[in-house]
Structure 1
Amino acid sequence: MNNYLTSLGLTLTLFAGQSVHAQNPTPYNWKNLPKITQPVFQKDTLTITAYGAKPDGYTLNTKAINAAILACSQKGGGVVLVPAGLWLTGPVELKSNVNLHLKKAATLLFTTDKSQYALVEGTYEGKRAARNQSPVSGSNLENVAITGQGIVDGNGDVWRAVNKNQLTESQWKEKVESGGVLKDDGKTWYPSEQFKRASVGNRSMLLTDGKTPQDFADMKDMLRPNLVVFTNCKNVLLEGITFQNSAAWCLHPLMCQNLTIRNVTTKNPEYAHNGDGMDIESCKNFLIEGCTLDVGDDAICIKSGKDEEGRKRGMPTENGVIRNNTVYNGHGGFVVGSEMSGGARNIFVYNCTFIGTDKGLRFKSVRGRGGVVEHIYAKDIFMKDIAQEAIFFDMYYFVKFATDGERDMRPVVNEGTPVFRDMHFENIVCHRATKGVFVRGLPEMPVKNIVMEKLFLQADKGVELIDASGIQIRQAQFVTKETKPVILVENGQQLTFDGITYDPNASLLFSINGERSQQISVTRTDLTKAQKKAEFGQGASEQSLKTALK
């Protein structure tokens, strides 16, 4: 273990030399955003038809498309043109200095013949794993792009399992009649018997010592590929394209620098397991703007590796701008985690709209991840019909409690302790959610120093803060169905509520719980509207709450 403490009040040196300390959020400047270098290409153009490609949706064009890309790169680069048409193909490998440009009405349709996809070393949720080769990939490249107005379609349905309760009756009937096999209980459809055996047997795809991708040939069908993967590339541009129907994650830039994703659409069915829109992993200097996402899992997601493997990589996702995007279906609009063991920092999110996502701003991790997530700034975020929480922090991702509310009170802080701190959210509007704000840290490492101001949140419940420190909620209006309480605190310290507006005649404004709750301040708030100002339980003291009348 690396310099662990049991006292929360002291500085802690973490794995990779990062430190945890109480402080106010670092000042930030929206006028001085990160700069991203764009790729530059020669004007020379090669057309895939010159290499024998046919747009009939039947001819397999893998060799022709890859030959055009290789020839273009070897000549110094330029544009590889995909004209209008339906171009059936196997995996496409990008090369340096090549812009793969899809004209309007051009579709790259990836074959359902899984033998065309080689077993390769890839990653799965931040760890080395055996995967099928991605439909589009590139490694160690510089100046590379996919642009235009066409479509990249991963034909993902042939790769995915699906549960009966995720489909309508007619959709389920069609799926069963298409082939594949059912789980013994009849509630899950698998693409093949091989997929079923691997899934039911809970087979791992991780590449442990001594294992090679070929060792996983007997479970190949379950090793779903991400649609587009760029690894260790510089100056990457994705612009204008619709990326859809991925077998797993849709867009996955990994360890890239100077990444731009502009005016892109990502589409996956709601039932698409791991059907994320964009997973920006261990990337530096990136811009995501003007994009539309409608996916089956997290939409715009920040990652940096998982657990010890991610900490050893030690590459945070940093210096990013995310603006002017619209998210429809998805498990979160803007998401950090849960694989964030390399950390994330200096990310600016603004002018984004989330409509119908499960959660809005979503931060998630768990003991064992480690990593520091800090200096995340969000403003002008507009949400509608959020199924769960508008603003969400949870350090118990996928943890099942023994009993309702029971949590492991482990006191040790070490390199596996995740740290989320120093963020500022401003002008956040939500029209309908289950909860407005939910923050749940760890007893040994609270979520700390988060400023939320100028909030207007219409939700069933208002605010829940559990194991949180230094949270400031200012100029916030909560329109809630449940008013007992409007704000719940459990073991929260140094909390500030300033200028809070809530429903008239609320039954209870504050519920303060836990013996570690202290230094809770309420200012510029009319306390007379609530039938009862505060209740205290589970060892909380009335002295923990200090109020000043409006």
Structure 2
Amino acid sequence: MEKLVASGGLVSDDNRTWYPSEKSKKGTGVKNAGVISPDKTAKDYEEIKDFLRPNMVVLTRCKKVLLQGVTFQNSPAWCLHPLLCEHITLRDVYVKNPWYAQNGDGVDLESCRFGRVENCVFDVGDDAICIKSGRDEQGRKRGVPTENFIIKNNLVYHAHGGFVIGSEMSGGARNLFVSNCTFMGTDIGLRFKTTRGRGGVVEKIFIKDINMTNIPGEAILFDMYYMAKDPVPLAGEKAADVKVETIPVTEATPQFRDFQISNVVCHGAQKGIFIRGLPEMPISNITMDNIVIKAKKGAELLEASNIRITNATFEVTDSDPLINVRNSREIQLSNIKFDEAKNFINIKGEKSGVVVSGTDIKKAKDKPVFADGATAGALTTK
């Protein structure tokens, strides 16, 4: 921070964020700053001009697009942004942005259908391969999901997420097939994020044969409390807790469901699996099979439903507990392998129900813990 301040610019009121100019700082406080409306002119945007960084390549309503063997580098914001396109292919593309490039995504496929992303390399400042379909009411009104894509044989170095869906997924996403990808040092490996207000349905996502190494955050993350912050807290920071409350389901309630994830190997992460849904809309119908994870922590399942983890191996340094469950029902854990654990499972909440099979949970030093309304009847072993 001291080096940035010495170079010029200014810092936020809480001394946590550096801005290159006053116009850049002011833009962060303007709601929907980039939305153009008929009652505004170019002059109205002048005082936040530095905040309005453009994307490098935008393709809108194009068909039969091929980007092949090209390097894209140093974009002001998103690098590649196909919007409402059909039959688009990225092959042997290299996308590179500095690690500090805020919003420096690699490729954002927004409300597109029929395409491939293959044999590409990403080393960027934000999410690498990202699926979007519009934000909040505007995205729902457009109502065009991103669908029918094959994403395979890609390599991701630095990024906030290797393969990402959201958080602007209000038009939905479906029929995505991801395979044979490698993530090396991405903040999060598989990252699926949304928040209340988005709406939209993300479903029928098929992922297999993923290799990861040196992941600072989670290897696999589903989070419905996205807060537009860096996915990994800076040194000395602590991830903010969320207020858990149930609100009525509306068209603005997002949904994540029907994911199949198999053959994933992660060598080094802060946490292996993190699933956090909403009380009124749990993340549901997630299958994970043949998972091998070496991490500090194992798995955390919060406000989820019908989660099946089968043939999973955990090698963790903090196993208190290895698996944490809160208000999640129809959780099936089958053939879970681990060396030693202080506590295999901690179950909270009266809604919870877990079935463990083919697993020697007696290897753990302590017995399962039940709290916050959960009783011993919440756990069935076979």
TM-score by length of structure 2 reads: 0.92
CA deviations on 1:227-250 (whole Å, 9 max, x unpaired) are 000011111111111100000000
Structure 1 runs not aligned, ≥5 long: 1-163
Return the alpha-carbon distance in structure 1 between the equivalents of residues 274 and 222 of structure 2: 6
Aligned to 2:251: 415
SS in 1 for 2:216: coil
Q: Does 1:536 align with 2:340?
A: no
**Offset at 1:210?**
2.4
Contact 2:12-2:18 within 8 A present in 1 as well: no
Q: Of the candidates 265, 276, 279, which is equivalent to residue 440 of structure 1?
A: 276
Classify 1:437/1:190 alpha carbon distance in 2 versus 1 (closer, same or farther; 3 Å): closer
SS in 2 for 1:205: coil
Please list, as runs of the form range in 1=range in 2, the aligned pairs for 1:208-223 lying within 5 A after superposition. 208=37, 210-223=39-52
Contact 1:385-1:432 within 8 A present in 2 as well: yes
Q: Which amino acid aligns with 1:354?
A: F
Contact 2:297-2:322 within 8 A present in 1 as well: yes
Q: Does 1:495 align with 2:324?
A: no
Aligned to 1:372: 201
Contact 1:323-1:349 within 8 A present in 2 as well: yes
Aligned to 2:189: 360
Contact 1:207-1:213 within 8 A present in 2 as well: no
Q: Percent identity?
A: 53
Return the alpha-carbon distance in structure 1 between the equivalents of residues 31 and 257 of structure 2: 36
Q: Which has the higher contact order (CA 8 A, sep 6+)?
A: 1
Aligned to 2:359: 525
Aligned to 1:477: 313
Return the alpha-carbon distance in structure 2 between the equivalents of residues 260 and 221 of structure 1: 32
Classify 1:503/1:293 alpha carbon distance in 2 versus 1 (closer, same or farther; 3 Å): same
**Offset at 1:310?**
0.3
Return the alpha-carbon distance in structure 2 between the equivalents of residues 197 and 539 of structure 1: 47
SS in 2 for 1:330: coil
Contact 2:12-2:25 within 8 A present in 1 as well: no
Aligned to 1:155: none
Q: Which amino acid aligns with 1:521?
A: V
Q: Of the candidates 51, 61, 65, which is equivalent to residue 236 of structure 1?
A: 65
Classify 1:523/1:274 alpha carbon distance in 2 versus 1 (closer, same or farther; 3 Å): same
Q: Of the candidates 441, 464, 474, which is equivalent to residue 300 of structure 2?
A: 464
Contact 1:305-1:340 within 8 A present in 2 as well: yes
Classify 1:480/1:220 alpha carbon distance in 2 versus 1 (closer, same or farther; 3 Å): same
Return the alpha-carbon distance in structure 2 between the equivalents of residues 366 and 187 of structure 1: 24
Contact 1:483-1:503 within 8 A present in 2 as well: no
Q: Does 1:516 align with 2:351?
A: yes
Return the alpha-carbon distance in structure 2 between the equivalents of residues 404 and 256 of structure 1: 37
Contact 1:436-1:461 within 8 A present in 2 as well: yes
Classify 1:222/1:514 alpha carbon distance in 2 versus 1 (closer, same or farther; 3 Å): same
Q: Of the candidates 151, 156, 161, which is equivalent to residue 327 of structure 1?
A: 156
Aligned to 1:249: 78
SS in 1 for 2:177: strand
Return the alpha-carbon distance in structure 2 between the equivalents of residues 405 and 345 of structure 1: 30
Give 1 or 2: higher strand fraction: 2
**Offset at 1:544?**
1.3
Contact 1:365-1:394 within 8 A present in 2 as well: yes
**Offset at 1:302?**
0.3
Q: Does 1:507 align with 2:342?
A: yes
Return the alpha-carbon distance in structure 1 between the equivalents of residues 178 and 36 of structure 2: 35
Q: Of the candidates 25, 30, 33, which is equivalent to residue 204 of structure 1?
A: 33
Contact 1:412-1:444 within 8 A present in 2 as well: yes
**Offset at 1:375?**
0.5
CA deviations on 1:500-550 (whole Å, 9 max, x unpaired) are 00123x1110100011112x11111112211234110000021111101xx
CA RMSD of aligned residues (A): 2.2
SS in 2 for 1:310: helix
Q: Which amino acid aligns with 2:169?
A: M
Return the alpha-carbon distance in structure 2 between the equivalents of residues 190 and 510 of structure 1: 44
Return the alpha-carbon distance in structure 1 between the equivalents of residues 27 and 252 of structure 2: 30
Aligned to 1:225: 54
Return the alpha-carbon distance in structure 2 between the equivalents of residues 437 and 219 of structure 1: 39
SS in 1 for 2:279: coil
SS in 2 for 1:347: strand
Q: Which amino acid aligns with 1:458?
A: K
SS in 2 for 1:221: helix
Q: Of the candidates 383, 388, 393, which is equivalent to residue 222 of structure 2?
A: 393
Classify 1:182/1:238 alpha carbon distance in 2 versus 1 (closer, same or farther; 3 Å): same
Q: Does 1:313 align with 2:147?
A: no
Contact 1:302-1:340 within 8 A present in 2 as well: yes
**Offset at 1:196?**
4.6
Instruction: Compare CA radii of gyration and give the structure with the larger one.
Output: 1
SS in 2 for 1:515: coil
Structure 2 runs not aligned, ≥5 long: 230-238
**Offset at 1:206?**
2.3
Aligned to 1:426: 262
SS in 2 for 1:377: strand
Aligned to 1:275: 104
Aligned to 1:149: none
TM-score by length of structure 1 reads: 0.65
Corresponding residue pairs, total: 372
Return the alpha-carbon distance in structure 2 between the equivalents of residues 199 and 418 of structure 1: 25
**Offset at 1:184?**
7.7
